[in-house]
Amino acid sequence: MKRPRYLLGWIFGALHLAFCVLFFAAYFTSPDSERGMALYIFAFIDPWMLLFFSAFSGSIHDEIIIAAVLTLFGSAGWWGVGWMLAKIIGFFGRHQKNA
């Protein structure tokens, strides 16, 4: 049976999407007034998304926009990371078989 194309990319993207859905579900149901600090967890998961934190003013409208951007673009970014890793693994795996 042949492996699905871009499997590693789909796994990374799906894991990020699931994490974002669970995180933001808990985030938006939290009554804590300092919940905005929890968004900084994405500084470690999505370091390229730090640009969006500078526009964060603390209003619910900004929080929803940041949540949507982090979920969509972050999942796409992690899909790209998985795709690139699969290409690198395939490249080196192909050369080792021929040697």
Dihedral sign computed on CA atoms, order 59, 65, 71, 73: negative
The domain segmentation of the chain, as residue ranges, is 7-93
pLDDT in tens, 51-94: 766 666 666 777 888 888 889 988 999 999 999 998 888 888 77
| pLDDT-based confidence at residue 97 (cuts at 50, 70, 90) | low
* Range ranked top by mean pLDDT from 2-6, 32-36, 72-76, 94-98: 72-76
pLDDT of residue 64: 84
